[in-house]
Structure 1
Amino acid sequence: MDRRTFLALAGGAGAAAASAGLFRQWLEMTPAVHSPGRAEGHFLREGGALPAPGQVIETDIVILGSGIAGLSAAWKLGREGQRKVLMIDGPQPFGNAAGGHFGELAYPTGGYYLPLPSPESVHVRDILFDLGIIARDPYGEKPYYDERVILHGPAERVLFNGRWQEGLIPTDGVSAQERAEHARFFAEVERLRTLRGSDGQRAFVFPSVSSSRDPAFDPLDRITFKAWLDQQGYRSPTLLWYLNYCCRDDYGTRYDQVSAWAGLHYFASRGGQAANAGNGAWLTWPGGMQAVADKLAAASGVRRRPGSAVSLKRSGAGGVGVEALCFTLDGGVARSYLVRARKAICAMPLYVAARVVEDIGAYGFDPKRHTPSYAPWLVANFLMKDFPRELPHAPLAWDNVVCQEPGLGYVVSTHQDIRVTPPGKTVFSAYVALSDRTPAAARKWMMSASGAELVALAGADLASAYGWKFAACVERVEITLRGHAMAAPLPGFRSNAGLAALREADGPIVFAHADLSGFSVFEEAAWWGVQAALKVLK
């Protein structure tokens, strides 16, 4: 955002002098910038030499990666009584489920909510019941959830034509013809939600591998979501903006690039209900999914160790065991250690696994042909010493979205707090999917962008909502850059033979990551973690 745009948002020439001073204050914000995995990746890519291992660690099962897939594998192993398990955290503990703190205020640096699991997502219900998030009746039509984590109202609002309105799809000031298109699309979603293929399976479910494989649905994965919408005659600008926003929010990628099957799956796959919440409710925590990650790690009893794997290979007579060479990087100084185990669960993103697993091609995965495209993300957490004054018409909500791109809006960390009066401080977490440029261009920009440029992009939605007044309320800014945040489900992803091969791999090394499905959501990561645990328990 340039100075002229910012001042225009602030309310015109009459406020220019005050705006200019506060705009300079905005530019002078020096964010703390974190790029998980960047230093380790560049060290290896640039040929950094690792010293000989300073330690050899023996265990029965090693899990490489501590994201939701790795944690779900550890949870399942622990539930089955397996205690000889070691988890190597990777460059950032909990990966896309990580969070942080400003003192007592928690905030997310990755995922920040979980939809109510549908009946088919038994593995998610297992986990949530074991962790106490489902209080009772976990497998019933409407489980009873912990009241503290069910999203409180007001849940969401959208800033459209300078006015806030409830919900995320603009309706105020929208023509009757456009609203009719909204209704037509959501009626189609309801039809697709119960649609079954010739094999008897629902067309769109979690886990996605349980979705119908009826060939009649294959054409949906050959075209983009936008192409499908064009075919169906959807023209409403507000509907198309909303559908594009949803794809960017869940997949980090625009609707004119995402597979039509993935775009429809977003809407038609989930149908979770709760005894103590309305349909379509969400579960959320001040620190986002870090709260679930912490609970999974504690419930599993897994031993964890900092470090990143640089190689993973079979070892021993007949290749019946595994060896993982791991390292840490502290101030540019590398230290390595070797882990020997009977089994390894490779719970790393596939673009990493492709470089780490020795001869991964032997598993049927060709890195050049089968590695997914990855979407970059930016998450900025603004520690607020005061709440900025709101525009009228709809109150501050948990999720606050501005009808523009590339921002995804911002969530309020203290929204779930139950207080008589607002807290003295809060955290606004702003999300940006850099979908307005190619992934390669976005990663290049991330590498070179100054702190002021990062703050300006991260704060664009906040500036639209509050103008110059926002800068005066900010105390600190923490920005997390995720250059390969999530796999993007582009057309053809469902027929990716390399992903299918890794899903079936069974032996000393098994794989577990949402990438095996081709898109990154909790239900998929947890599914592959549990499946990997079942394989190594055999």
Structure 2
Amino acid sequence: MTAGALASGCTPDLPPLQGGWVGTHPERGHRLREPLPSASTATPRQAHVLIVGAGIAGLACARELQRRGVDDVAILDLEPTAGGNSRGHQLAGARCPIGAHYLPLPGPEAREVYQLLEELGLVRQQLGRAMWDERHLCHSPQERLFIDGAWQDGLLPAADSPDTLAQYRRFSNLVAEAQRQLGFAMPTRRARWTPGHAALDAQTFAAWLDQHGLTAPRLRWYLDYCCRDDFGAPADTVSAWAGLHYFASRHGFHAPGDETAEREPVLTWPEGNAWLAERLSQPLHPHLHLDRVALQVSEEREGVEVLAWQVPEQRLERWRARHVVLATPLFVARRLLRTPPAALQSLRQQHAPWLTANLLLREPLIDHPGAPPSWDNVSHGSTRLLGYVNARHQALDPTPQPPLLTAYLALPDSQRGALLQAPWQQWADAVLADLAPTHPDLREQLARIDLCRFGHAMSIPTPGTRSAAALQALTQPQGRIAFAHSDLAGYSVFEEAYTAGVSAARVVTS
């Protein structure tokens, strides 16, 4: 899409939009494309372990290093706030997310994540059972879907025919069969990898669904939505392994009428996963060096040298460390390393661009009939808009306030250029156009809209990505350099990032 192809202009009799870009600084990351500045006058800095990237993986790595007695740690990040894709925002004094906004309750394989949540006071063990603090679980009503002119409870579309219902049940059985016969886990490194997994990873999810006669439009839309929500791309782009992993590594897929079905509980906060990121980063403040753009990483005989650009003072720093952990997307790590390892050079991953928009309203919106306003609100048939969450849904303050909506758009790779170049007003109009079918009075009730763009938000698990031997190789020590990022799993979720960070700390201290 070009800037001119986006919706344009104003609505008659309404004031101009108030808002702008927030949250990310694409021009900083793009400095990697430019020639290196002269290092002759670079300010010398040093640390025993230097972590590049203060997202969830980098913060988890630093936290684990401290737990292991390594306190001489420095963390660099190009943004002014730690947290990566889990950072938050404030709009008119209210907290809201600009990226990840929830965390499913971790399964038994996500031991490190469970330990973190336990230490943060979100869960405790009682008589051998996990007891969750309900203040942090998503309040009811949790989710709804706009379909056939009304809102329905839940996101799986109601079956419109006996054949659709039969296909729901058949897919549910296939997921359960994959769980039993192959095994899936989150983080995925805790599951064995078999020829059966590799066969799934060799084809698209859409092709696999076709092979099994799963063609009902409502089922296909829902599975497409799930893939775009977790992987940033539709079912004809992600692998069949990824499509099944979405369900089989969690709580399966439950067809309508399944008496064992329970809505998957999730942890969420007004600011989304920034609640977690801020509690990870707060004890690390003395070690955080923000507004630093890493430019080059060079392994030497006695350590590693990192050149970084200090943005506020516009000067170069030369860091020396005994070990370096690259907690960046792997394509960024490849650009940073003066001599990247063969595994990194051979790896090619696609990354999905995302747009999030926080919309501050003056009054509650006129609603369609059906299920009441929920935390997560999705429109059936949308191919770009993933829906919106109400950042005020978790608020414990009983004072009535207008909703603060956070909308999510998963964009095709072809729109990355427009996301960077088009004015924020044009993208704001595009968001409002996508939301108009469910809320025609949105524009007149809108007080402000702040948008955040992620040019490379998440790794897309295309066919062959998870099977790549390079991913496994990069989890092993590479001299004095270790890698820590959810890219190592081939897709992007909190559990993968956090576990990758803890694992890298273990590699560095082993």
In the alignment, structure 1 residue 345 sits paired with structure 2 residue 325:
yes
Gaps of 5+ in 2: 253-260
> Which structure has greater helix proportion?
1
What is the 5 A alignment of 1:154-303?
A: 154-171=141-158, 174-193=160-179, 195-197=180-182, 203-271=183-251, 280-300=264-284, 303=287
What is the 5 A alignment of 1:4-19?
A: none
Deviations 1:382-406 (A, max 9, x none): 1122211211111110000011111
* One of 301, 304, 310 as aligned partner of 1:328: 310
User: Structure 2: which amino acid aligns with 1:394?
Assistant: A
Secondary structure at the residue paired with 2:426?
helix
Residue 298 of structure 2: aligned partner: 313
Distance in 1 (CA, whole Å) between partners of 2:209 and 2:411 is 23
* One of 428, 437, 459 as aligned partner of 2:405: 428
State the Cα distance separating 1:252 from its structure 2 match: 0.4
State the Cα distance separating 1:485 from its structure 2 match: 0.6
Distance in 2 (CA, whole Å) between partners of 1:244 and 1:86 is 41
Residue 12 of structure 1: aligned partner: none
Residue 109 of structure 1: aligned partner: 98
State the Cα distance separating 1:281 from its structure 2 match: 0.5
Kept in 1, the 8 Å contact 2:432–2:442? The answer is: no
Distance in 2 (CA, whole Å) between partners of 1:301 and 1:455 is 34
Residue 61 of structure 1: aligned partner: 49
Deviations 1:51-90 (A, max 9, x none): 6554222211111101111011111112223221111123
Distance 1:422 1:236, change over 3 A: farther
User: Structure 2: which amino acid aligns with 1:448?
Assistant: Q
Kept in 2, the 8 Å contact 1:64–1:90? The answer is: no
* One of 66, 70, 82 as aligned partner of 1:78: 66
TM-score between the two structures when normalised by the length of structure 1: 0.87
In the alignment, structure 1 residue 396 sits paired with structure 2 residue 373:
yes
Residue 461 of structure 2: aligned partner: 489
User: Structure 1: which amino acid aligns with 2:20?
Assistant: A
* One of 99, 107, 123 as aligned partner of 1:118: 107
State the Cα distance separating 1:322 from its structure 2 match: 1.3
Kept in 2, the 8 Å contact 1:377–1:432? The answer is: yes
Kept in 1, the 8 Å contact 2:23–2:89? The answer is: no
TM-score between the two structures when normalised by the length of structure 2: 0.91
* One of 283, 288, 310 as aligned partner of 1:304: 288
Most deviating of 71-80 and 244-253: 71-80
User: Structure 1: which amino acid aligns with 2:362?
Assistant: K
Residue 426 of structure 2: aligned partner: 453
Kept in 2, the 8 Å contact 1:343–1:508? The answer is: yes
Kept in 2, the 8 Å contact 1:506–1:535? The answer is: no
Secondary structure at the residue paired with 1:380?
strand
Distance in 1 (CA, whole Å) between partners of 2:207 and 2:337 is 37
Deviations 1:134-178 (A, max 9, x none): 23359x5x4112221101110000111221111101117x12221
Residue 257 of structure 2: aligned partner: none
Distance in 1 (CA, whole Å) between partners of 2:220 and 2:34 is 43
Deviations 1:120-141 (A, max 9, x none): 1111111111222223359x5x
In the alignment, structure 1 residue 47 sits paired with structure 2 residue 31:
no
Gaps of 5+ in 1: 7-19, 198-202
Secondary structure at the residue paired with 2:352?
strand
Kept in 2, the 8 Å contact 1:105–1:426? The answer is: no
Kept in 2, the 8 Å contact 1:70–1:529? The answer is: yes
Residue 256 of structure 2: aligned partner: none
In the alignment, structure 1 residue 373 sits paired with structure 2 residue 361:
no
Most deviating of 50-59 and 475-484: 50-59
Root mean square deviation, CA, Å = 2.4
State the Cα distance separating 1:209 from its structure 2 match: 1.6
**Identity over aligned pairs, percent:** 37
What is the 5 A alignment of 1:82-101?
A: 82-91=70-79, 93-101=82-90
Distance 1:24 1:95, change over 3 A: farther
Distance in 1 (CA, whole Å) between partners of 2:303 and 2:12 is 59
State the Cα distance separating 1:188 from its structure 2 match: 2.5
Residue 121 of structure 2: aligned partner: 132
Residues paired across the two proteins, number: 494
Distance in 2 (CA, whole Å) between partners of 1:23 and 1:402 is 26
Residue 506 of structure 2: aligned partner: 534
Most deviating of 413-422 and 254-263: 413-422
Distance 1:535 1:42, change over 3 A: closer
Distance in 2 (CA, whole Å) between partners of 1:182 and 1:346 is 42
